[in-house]
Amino acid sequence: MKKLLKIALAMGLMTAMISGCVPEDNTPSTTTQGGTTAANDDTKAADATTTTATPGNFDDSQAILVITREDGSGTRGAFVEIIGIGNDEIVATAEVRNNAGDILGAVEQNDVAISYISAGSVSNAVTALTIEGIAPTTDNIRSGAYAIQRPFNVVHNGSLNADAQDFWNFIFSAEGQAVVVGRGYIEGVMNAPAWEQDTSATGSITVGGSTSVQPLMERLIEAYVAAGGTVTVELQGGGSGVGESSTVDGTFEIGMVSREVRVATLTSGELAIDGIAVIVNKANPLTDISIEDLKDIYLGDLTIWNQVG
């Protein structure tokens, strides 16, 4: 009997804990919007649980969660340059994530988050904002109307061997650039010539570097093989920095760099142009943001959602 009592007590405690952790109040409170009372505190908790709900529940008196890529990332470098702040000026309390997947996950899970990723990686689980009225569509990026964009470069150390040259030619051929456009990026070369295969090239090469270029390069290699390419191309990651340094030291025949090339001794070609999309949670009603606000958010001057716009 005593044992039974104890077990019951333990179970009771656990249920209390579990029920305590799952906020029962899922219905949106009417005092949420611009709430003036102390009740605001409690509704915030309720709101947070309805992360994936309709924008109507969004409490814009919440603080902004700034998420950024890590120091050294090509995406980050291009982003800060375009919005006009220094690489080190990003507010120190910003969360740091080092790939698009983690950023998407974090923004999906948190209704007050804002971040930026390659436009090609945006999923429909988040909202890509328009920048001063202009959406990150391929047309807008091509015309330059959408300002936040950067080049995808491929580099080599000045002398390509026959194998690497064959793949390089493919990248900058009409066939290769068609893959670029097919994946939603902007072609780096307009009116590229048709590919002329060098059938004597049958060796193997390694291409590596920027993780942002990686998914596109993967498709390019597949298209190359499908088009009858005879060189075996191995793809490696690492990042833009590795793309440059490993090409210099010969580990990679061709390096991928998702920003302007910094190493002057490398020969580079612009493979594609990629827009950087600014993303927020689905629950956030915001659809447009100005460069000025974006800058202030990343500087840490704008800290609350209702200050935006």
Partner 1 sequence: MKRRTLKAEDIFNIEFIMRIVFILSALTAVFAVGLICFFLFARGLPAIFFEIGPIKFITGTEWYPRRVENPLFGILPMILGSIYVTAGAIIIGVPVGILTAVFMAKMCPLWLYRFLKPLISLLAGVPSVVYGFFGMMIIVPWLRDALNLTSGSTMLATSILLGIMILPTVITISESSLRAVPDELYEGAVALGASHTRAVYRVILPAAKSGVLAAVVLGIGRAIGETMAVRMVAGNQALMRAPWDITEGLRTMTTNIILEMGYADGLHLEALIATGVVLFVFIVLINVLFSVLTKKSEKESKFAGKFSFKIPADVIYGGIIGLVLGMAIIPNFSIAPNISSSADISISGAIVRGNEMMSPNISGTITDGKIESLNIDGVEIVTTRIEGLFINGSFVESSIELSGEGGRERSVMLIDGIDSGEIVNGEVRIISFYGKNIDVLIGIILGIFLGILLIKLITGFDGLIKVMTWIAAFITITAMGFVIGYILVRGVPSLSLDLFRFRYTADNTSMMPSVINTAIMVLATLLVAVPFGVGSAIYLVEYAKRGNKFVKVIRIVTETLAGIPSIVYGLFGMIFFVVFLDWGYSLIAGSFTLSIMVLPLIMRTTEESLKAVPDAYREGSFALGAGKLRTVFMIVLPAAIPGILAGIILSVGRIVGETAALMYTAGIAPQILRGPLSSARTLSVHMFILSGEGTHREQAHATAVILLILVIVINSISSFIAGKVAAKKSTK
Residues 211-240 interacting with partner 1 (rule: CB under 8 A)? 211, 214-215, 218-219, 222, 232, 234-240
Contacts of 303 (CB under 8 A, 6+ apart): 63, 64
Q: Nearest approach, Cβ of 196 to partner 1 (angstroms)?
A: 25
* Stretch binding partner 1 (CB under 8 A), from 66-74, 144-152, 163-171, 283-291: 66-74
Query: Going residue by residue from 83 to 102, which x/- string records binding to partner 1, judged by CB under 8 A?
Result: ----xx---xxxxxxxxxxx
245 touches partner 1 (CB under 8 A): yes
296 touches partner 1 (CB under 8 A): yes
Encoded tokens for 122: 């945006």
Encoded tokens for 282: 């689905």
**Separation between Cα atoms, residue 61 and residue 63, nearest integer Å:** 7
Q: How far is CA 68 from CA 74, 116, 121, 279, in A?
A: 12, 7, 15, 11
Q: Which one of 29, 31, 230, 251 is in contact with partner 1 (CB under 8 A)?
A: 251
* Stretch binding partner 1 (CB under 8 A), from 70-78, 143-151, 155-163, 270-278: 70-78
Q: Nearest approach, Cβ of 295 to partner 1 (angstroms)?
A: 8
Q: Nearest approach, Cβ of 52 to partner 1 (angstroms)?
A: 10
Residue 139's SS3 state is helix
H helices present in the chain, as ranges: 2-21, 40-49, 74-83, 100-109, 138-143, 162-171, 174-182, 214-226, 240-249, 291-299
| Total number of residues shown for the chain | 309
Encoded tokens for 204: 């193997």
121 touches partner 1 (CB under 8 A): yes
Q: Nearest approach, Cβ of 214 to partner 1 (angstroms)?
A: 8
Scanning the structure block, which residue is given the tokens 């490993």? 246
- Which C-beta is closer to partner 1: that of 7 or that of 162? 7
Do 112 and 305 form a contact (C-beta atoms < 8 A)?
A: yes
297 touches partner 1 (CB under 8 A): no
- Which C-beta is closer to partner 1: that of 42 or that of 260? 42
- Which C-beta is closer to partner 1: that of 173 or that of 240? 240
**Separation between Cα atoms, residue 74 and residue 82, nearest integer Å:** 12
Query: Going residue by residue from 30 to 49, which x/- string records binding to partner 1, judged by CB under 8 A?
Result: ----xxx-x-xxx-xx--xx
178 touches partner 1 (CB under 8 A): no
**Separation between Cα atoms, residue 197 and residue 96, nearest integer Å:** 44
268 touches partner 1 (CB under 8 A): no
* Stretch binding partner 1 (CB under 8 A), from 60-68, 141-149, 156-164, 166-174: 60-68
Contacts of 41 (CB under 8 A, 6+ apart): none
157 touches partner 1 (CB under 8 A): no
How big is the site for partner 1, counted in residues (CB under 8 A)? 91
- Which C-beta is closer to partner 1: that of 112 or that of 186? 112
Nearest CA-CA partner of 165 in 219, 133, 128, 207: 207
264 touches partner 1 (CB under 8 A): no
